[in-house]
Amino acid sequence: MTTPSISALKNACPGTSLFYVVEEPYRELVEGNPHLDEIFVIDKTRGNKEFFRIIRRIRKNKFDAVIDFHGGPRAALITLLSRAKWKVGYQTKCKSYIYHFTIPRSSDTGPIHSVKNHINLTGLLGADTDTIPPLRLPPSNIRAESKVEEYLKEMESEEKRNVVIHISAGNRFRDWGTEKISRLISLLGRLSRVRIALIGDNNDRQTEAKILKTTSLSLDSFVGKLNLKELQELISHAALFVGADSGPMHIAAAVSTPIVALFGPTIPAHFGPWKARATIIEKTMDCRPCKQKSCVHGDFRCLRDISPDEVYEACLDYLK
């Protein structure tokens, strides 16, 4: 969701060299962006030695400005040690002293979407904050295309429409539940010419096994098998993406795949799919949004109260 800000900065200052600092494996989502001159990749598995190696590279470049889109401790430390002439970031209780220019991350008038927040940071350096560019991902590479090519060809020969279901979203607060996912798959399986693909990472293997065990349908599972570029390629050819608020949901928005999104502890006003053809399903509750540290009800009802039938009805609008 920082990619519109990259475009806005380049539009405002076409002669500017832009460098991007990112952790593995997310470099795959910015490599090849035509507005970026270089990418500094931090491999967290290599510890502090690697982190401070990147700091030295940043200092060596003597940047005019550093924008901290993240605001977390590591990003703030990079900004602090960068030796940049201007440091830009969000107003926070303990870290505002790091920056020369700051803006609030929230407003008394209501929530601010994350994309808009990032654009507002670039506005402090002269970018246009009113006209926001779309999300932008570099095209898939040949390796990513070949990884899913056989699957896509098979679908095309069968005249099938691919529905990609993200079976997890990283934590228990955004876990819809194996039973509900299985029920949705059963409902979608009634539709002719629909083929279902499951996605997730290695942490979702147990959920994947439970789903495959409870269904008689022939499913295609890519759980733990795709990197982010391959995931982008798969989603870009889908007729529909279904899942909770997550990174893959935003990839679907970036490649213009229709979305049925389930929102629980987070709210669309902050993290909804940006300028996408999407149906948002959520339940109005006083406890939303929450910080996802503990559930006041103990049962994650904000997401679990969403029924498979209402998700299925939303899917029908895109699959008729």
User: Residue 142 domain-assigned?
Assistant: no
Q: Of 123, 138, 159, at which residue does a domain stop?
A: 123
* 288/181 same-domain check: yes
Q: Are residues 168 and 49 part of one domain?
A: no
Contact 152, 41 (CB under 8 A): no
Query: Are residue 118 and residue 175 in the same domain, yes or no?
Result: no
pLDDT at 169: 63
Paired tokens of 247: 């990174």
- Domain edge (last residue) among 89, 123, 157: 123
Q: What is the pLDDT of residue 85?
A: 96
pLDDT tens digits for 150-183? 888 887 777 889 999 999 867 888 889 999 999 9
Token pair for residue 34?
A: 């035509």
Q: What is the pLDDT of residues 204-224, one digit of tens each?
A: 999 999 999 998 888 999 999
> For residue 25, is the peptide bond before it cis, meaning its omega torsion is within 30 degrees of 0?
yes
Tell me whether residue 133 is in a domain: no
Number of structural domains the chain divides into: 2
Tell me how many degrees the CA angle 185-229-112 measures, rounded to the nearest 5.
80
Q: Which amino acid is at 53?
A: R
Task: Answer yes or no: do 171 and 89 share one domain.
Answer: no
Residue 278: φ, ψ to 5°:
-145, 150
Look at strands 259-263 and 278-282 and give their pairing: parallel
Same domain for 41 and 84, yes or no, is yes
pLDDT values of the chain reduced to their tens digit, one per residue, 320 residues: 999 999 999 999 899 999 999 998 899 999 999 999 999 999 888 888 889 999 999 999 999 999 999 999 999 999 999 999 999 999 988 889 999 999 998 888 889 999 999 999 999 999 999 999 999 999 888 888 888 888 888 877 778 899 999 998 678 888 899 999 999 999 999 998 899 999 999 999 999 999 999 988 889 999 999 999 999 999 999 999 999 999 999 999 999 999 999 999 999 999 999 999 999 999 999 999 998 889 989 888 999 999 999 999 999 999 98
Q: Could you tell me if 170 and 105 lie in one domain?
A: no
Asked if the structure places residue 227 within a domain, the reply is: yes
Q: How far apart are CA 172 and CA 168, in angstroms?
A: 9
Q: Please report, for the domain that includes residue 11, its CATH number.
A: 3.40.50.2000
Say which residue the tokens 């389930």 belong to.
Answer: 262
Give me the residues paired with residue 260 across strands. 242, 279
141, part of any domain: no
Q: Is residue 115 part of a domain?
A: yes
Spatial distance between the Cα atoms of 20 and 30, rounded to a whole number of angstroms = 8
119 and 153 share a domain? Answer: no
Cβ contacts of residue 162 below 8 Å, gap of 6+? 152, 155, 195, 196, 197, 234, 237, 238, 239, 240
Question: Is 152 part of a structural domain of the chain?
Answer: yes
DSSP 50-113: HHHHHHHHHHHHT-SEEE-SS-SHHHHHHHHHS--SEEEEE--TTTGGG-SEEE-SSBTTB---
- 94 with 167, same domain? no
Residue 128 maps to a domain: no
Residue 214 belongs to some domain of the structure? yes
Helix (H, G, I), strand (E, B) or coil at 126: coil
In the block, tokens 């629980």 appear at: 264
Q: Say whether 41 sits in a helix, a strand or coil.
A: strand
Cis? peptide before 289, omega within 30° of 0: yes
- Domain ends where: 108, 123, 138? 123
pLDDT, residue 156, reads 78
Identify whether residues 98 and 174 lie together within a single domain: no
Q: Do 22 and 40 touch, CB atoms closer than 8 A?
A: yes
- 106 and 238 assigned to the same domain: no
Same domain, 263 and 159: yes
C-beta atoms surrounding 42 within 10 Å: 19
DSSP 8-state class, residue 254: H
**Alpha carbons 244 and 222: distance in angstroms, whole number:** 17
User: Are 253 and 259 within 8 A, CB to CB?
Assistant: yes
Q: Are residues 23 and 108 in the same domain?
A: yes
Q: Which helix (H) or strand (E) holds 208?
A: helix 205-214
Fill in the amino acid letter for 299.
Answer: D
Q: Which domain does 213 fall in, by range?
A: 147-319
